[in-house]
Amino acid sequence: MMSDQHTTLGILGGGQLGRMFATAARTMGYDVVVLDPDPNAPAAHFATRHLCAPYDDAMALDILARTCAAVTTEFENAPSSSLDALARHCPVRPAASAVAIAQDRILEKSFFRDNGIPVGPFVVARTPEAFHRAIADIKYPAIIKAARFGYDGKGQVRVQSADEALQALADQPSLLPVVIETLIPLRLEISVLLARGANGQIMFWPVAENRHQNGILEITIAPARIRVELAARACKIASDIADRLDYVGILAVEFFVTGFDTLLVNEMAPRPHNSGHYTLDACVTSQFEQQVRTLCGLPLGNPELLRPAAMVNLLGDLWANGTPPWEVIFQEPNAKLHLYGKQAPRPGRKMGHFTVLGNSASEALKKAMRLRTALGMTD
């Protein structure tokens, strides 16, 4: 158990998730070393040390290995070879084996299917020849997803027919290899966020209800306005995934809800998740404090929801006419603003979020939508 206040923790990735991890770790008395090639990495503002180098840089990895008692990652695209190298010297949580599955959609979908986890129809294509065969085996409309490095709607193309699929590949031959999925008529999207310790103990935050726009999470409502039985079933599926991976850390599992409470797993994230940001303000233990606890082998904290909440992402589009009018948020006594310290707002870039607490999930959402309008955000 790593509880000495001078213990140093390492993290690959210095974005907003790394920033919030570093804040939690420093608050708990730990030093933090961040490895990120961006000289303006948001996490560097709160870290003890910033190693500004590529994620596979041998010298930087050697420093992490020599100085850190344990290492984690803030994103699933961290090179598994780097995580494996670090694991020879200190605990790496989650393990490279779990991250490697989550960072490749083909491996991820195959893992779900092979372990009896419910997923929608999909086919895999690694070559142009396989792609031509695959588009004949899928129902339309469909979505083509690059196997690697796709997030927030990037690396994805929606198509209505086989002809459109062929055109998509002609326009973007670098998409391959891909997963092609039949688009599922959805009632809603939900996510399960859990923490699993090295001893196998699992704790859940309330299941969250999510709304997306252009492939990017827009609003999260917690708790999700769903039946208790459905929430319990989603948690059981997520815990099965964590157990089969022998997972240690924070794991998010996104679900599609179809028909009459049918659950299909969309994807998983081996790290804290955007839909869990509300835990910073609405729960006894946030996902980032829990990330520190799982990394250090500490007892898990209480994830209890203190008040219902709604979280709204703030994208770079909001800065089109200058600094947004944050006073409208500060005027709401039950709202909290979180900005990520990014220097270059651009459309679609996550710059921050705000959370609103309420006496019910619907009340929190109503307040959040009012603030969203006051900020000038449009659908």
Q: What is the CATH number of the domain that holds 279?
A: 3.30.470.20
Q: Which of 160, 182, 204 is the last residue of a domain?
A: 182
- How many helices (H) does the chain have, and how many strands (E)? 12, 17
If asked whether residues 81 and 132 sit together in one domain, one would say no
If asked whether residues 333 and 355 sit together in one domain, one would say yes
Q: Output the pTM of the full model.
A: 0.94
**Dist CA 376 CA 92 (whole Å):** 42
Inside any domain, residue 108: no
Length of the chain: 379
pLDDT at 155: 78
Inside any domain, residue 356: yes
Inside any domain, residue 101: no
pLDDT at 214: 85
Inside any domain, residue 114: no
Task: Look up the CATH number of the domain holding residue 175.
Answer: 3.30.1490.20
If asked whether residues 331 and 204 sit together in one domain, one would say yes
pLDDT at 6: 62
If asked whether residues 74 and 146 sit together in one domain, one would say no
pLDDT at 150: 62
Structural domain span for residue 227: 188-374
Residue type, 53: A
Q: Which of 92, 111, 146 is the last residue of a domain?
A: 92
If asked whether residues 174 and 193 sit together in one domain, one would say no
If asked whether residues 238 and 205 sit together in one domain, one would say yes
pLDDT at 152: 55
**Dist CA 157 CA 41 (whole Å):** 30
Q: What's the domain count of the chain?
A: 3
Inside any domain, residue 336: yes
If asked whether residues 139 and 84 sit together in one domain, one would say no
DSSP states of 212-275: EETTEEEEEEES-SS-HHHHHHHHHHHHHHHHHTT--EEEEEEEEEETTTEEEEEEEESS--GG
- 271 to each of 12, 175, 195, 222, 336, how far by Cα in Å? 11, 25, 10, 19, 23
Q: Which of 45, 72, 92 is the last residue of a domain?
A: 92
If asked whether residues 247 and 130 sit together in one domain, one would say no
**H or E stretch including 59?**
helix 58-67
pLDDT at 136: 87
Task: Look up the CATH number of the domain holding residue 37.
Answer: 3.40.50.20
Inside any domain, residue 87: yes
If asked whether residues 160 and 197 sit together in one domain, one would say no
**Dist CA 223 CA 207 (whole Å):** 6
If asked whether residues 197 and 177 sit together in one domain, one would say no
If asked whether residues 233 and 335 sit together in one domain, one would say yes
- Can you list the residues of the chain whose pLDDT is less than 70? 1-6, 150-154, 379
Inside any domain, residue 323: yes
Inside any domain, residue 221: yes
If asked whether residues 69 and 200 sit together in one domain, one would say no
**Dist CA 339 CA 15 (whole Å):** 12
pLDDT at 63: 97
Asked whether the beta carbons of 351 and 314 are under 8 A apart, the reply is yes
Asked whether the beta carbons of 269 and 251 are under 8 A apart, the reply is yes
pLDDT at 5: 47
pLDDT at 83: 96
